[in-house]
Amino acid sequence: MVIADDQQLSLAIGKRGVNIKLASKLTGWEIDILSESEYSKLKLEEADKALDESLKKDSLEKAENES
């Protein structure tokens, strides 16, 4: 995964994706490219999901202990 500055994203991808395709070919890796703002949003969503799961787990443990 590559994170690019929001203003540089189109440059990193290149016309019709040529830059990212070339980088993939040269490295032999599949490359996902995101802007900084997209990456930040993704990380916030992951953190929210982890927090929700933790809260659910704590609630279940508390309910089990009270039984």
Is this prediction's pTM over 0.95? Answer: no
Number of domains in the chain: 1
Query: Which one-letter DSSP state was computed for residue 14?
Result: -
User: So what's the pLDDT on residue 15?
Assistant: 96
DSSP structure string for 16-48? GGHHHHHHHHHHTS---EEEHHHHHHHHHHHHH
User: So what's the pLDDT on residue 62?
Assistant: 81
C-alpha 14/C-alpha 35 separation (Å) is: 14
pLDDT one-digit tens code per residue, 14-66: 999 999 999 999 999 999 999 999 999 999 999 999 999 999 988 888 888 87
What's 16's domain CATH number? Answer: 3.30.300
Range of the structural domain that residue 12 is part of: 2-66
